[in-house]
Amino acid sequence: MSAPAPDPVAPVARPAPRLVARTVEIDDPGPLLGLLPPGAEPFSWVRRGEGIVGWGEAARLRTTGPGRFREAERGWRRLLAGAVVRDDVGLRGTGPVAFGSFAFADASSAASSLVVPATVVGHREGRWWLTRTTTGESGPSIGATIPGPVSGAPPQQPDGPPPGTVVFADGAVSSPDWESLVGRAVARVERGELDKVVLARDLLARSSTPVDVRGLLRRLAAAYPATWTFSVDGLVGATPEMLVRTQVRLVASRVLAGTIRRTGDDAHDLALAASLARSSKDLGEHEYAVRSVVEALTPFCAGTNVPESPFVLHLANVMHLATDVTGVLRDDVSSLRLAEALHPSAAVCGTPTAAAAALIDEVEGMDRGRYAGPVGWLDSDGDGEWGIALRCGQVGDDPHEVRLFAGCGIVAGSDPAAELAESAAKFVPMRDALGG
Ligand SMILES: C=C(O[C@H]1C=CC=C(C(=O)O)[C@@H]1O)C(=O)O
């Protein structure tokens, strides 16, 4: 007699997936970004050759709305609770890691995600490692075994295709309209409704060939070595701004706000850097951003260190006022929890936060998606690095299309034409990397 057909409405006991991860030390495999294989979605968090890259997908958590950070963190802890890990290296970022990218706004239609790649290769302080992670159903059999042996370093991959011909078009708001909405925002600031607001615009790039994200990453890393070159779920860029990094109980944040364009003439650029460091408008704009970060970090810290004045960070396209804030954490708190507390800082939203967020909603005319949200990674101890997704683009479902973003801090006295020019300078890294 054949077995009865299963009842289609009966609940199926579905055990949580179980992560099984193994990390081994490997020899120097060459540049991390050269390891990304074609045909697999690349994950990247690399600066000056150090960091982590990944590909393949062992597990994915997708969240939306105001609870997107908490829900992702809970999901990550659930995955780790049943994980079987053998980590022969024991550094920050070894063992299972998740790359993540979070929407800027609570109401965004863009999903936020934490993704555990099947393969991760990392490099830090003269050591290289390889982590392979798989997911199985939980149960005694899989829990008893560690995948292995893990083979040696993955090979360097040949260069991808050269960039195609790229044409750019206005995004949600044309340049003249954006200039006039900046003018309206300046008036609102000068009326005393708020102190600062960061307004952004988008550009649509269309390439004659499918965009090769690996090529974008390599070109961004070569041209902008002081930035973190990231790629998570099609959001690709080179951010100079570190929202939060944790290492055991130490926390650090690089705050940027206040910008001047470079001219390409070194002597002139040095004079411009000096004028940026003295500009009361830029120093004020910067101070709001620093204060927002310090206020958000303070409840978590036994102590913080905030330099009295900013330094000037030189990038190939622009120079920024920059402050490195550091602190000692009071409790065991994850880097993702801190990223949630720090987001959105006044470098991407404004001061006061609620008034600035409301003005952005009212006038910007677009959903920022994951632009200006936290992007980075965390490990099984909760340590990680979360940058702010700036100088970036979102590759579309159609791989010929990329949506680029740039924003500018608006304070009393901001000049709309100068802000438009500044936003154009902030598009340069992605425009150049796309070959445009
Ligand atoms: C919002 C962006 O930059 C922020 C970070 C550094 C300097 C900024 C500024 O000077 O306006 C912005 O606050 C962007 O690049 O899209």
* Mean pLDDT, the chain, whole residue set: 93
d(CA 252, CA 325): 6
Residues 197, 138 share a domain:
no
Domain limits at 196? Answer: 166-227+235-434
The response to whether residue 201 sits with its C-beta less than 6 Å from ligand 1 reads: no
Rounded to an integer, the average pLDDT of 9-17 is 50
Considering the domain boundaries, does residue 10 fall inside one? no
The response to whether residue 321 sits with its C-beta less than 6 Å from ligand 1 reads: no
Closest residue (by CA) to atom 8 of ligand 1?
A: 257
Question: pLDDT for 269-325, tens place per residue?
Answer: 999 999 999 999 999 999 999 999 999 999 999 999 999 999 999 999 999 999 999
Choosing from 241, 340, 419, 422, the catalytic residue is: 241
Q: Of 13 and 111, which is predicted with more confidence?
A: 111
State which of 143, 178, 213 marks the end of a domain.
143
Rounded to an integer, the average pLDDT of 178-192 is 98
Considering the domain boundaries, does residue 122 fall inside one? yes
Considering the domain boundaries, does residue 155 fall inside one? no
Considering the domain boundaries, does residue 161 fall inside one? no
Residues 191, 116 share a domain:
no
Question: pLDDT for 42-55, tens place per residue?
Answer: 999 999 999 999 99
Q: What is the pLDDT of residue 17?
A: 76
Question: pLDDT for 316-337, tens place per residue?
Answer: 999 999 999 999 999 999 999 9
- Does residue 295 have an active-site annotation? no
- Does residue 241 have an active-site annotation? yes
Cis peptide before 4 (omega within 30 of 0): no
Residues 101, 246 share a domain:
no
Residues 135, 170 share a domain:
no
Residues 100, 219 share a domain:
no
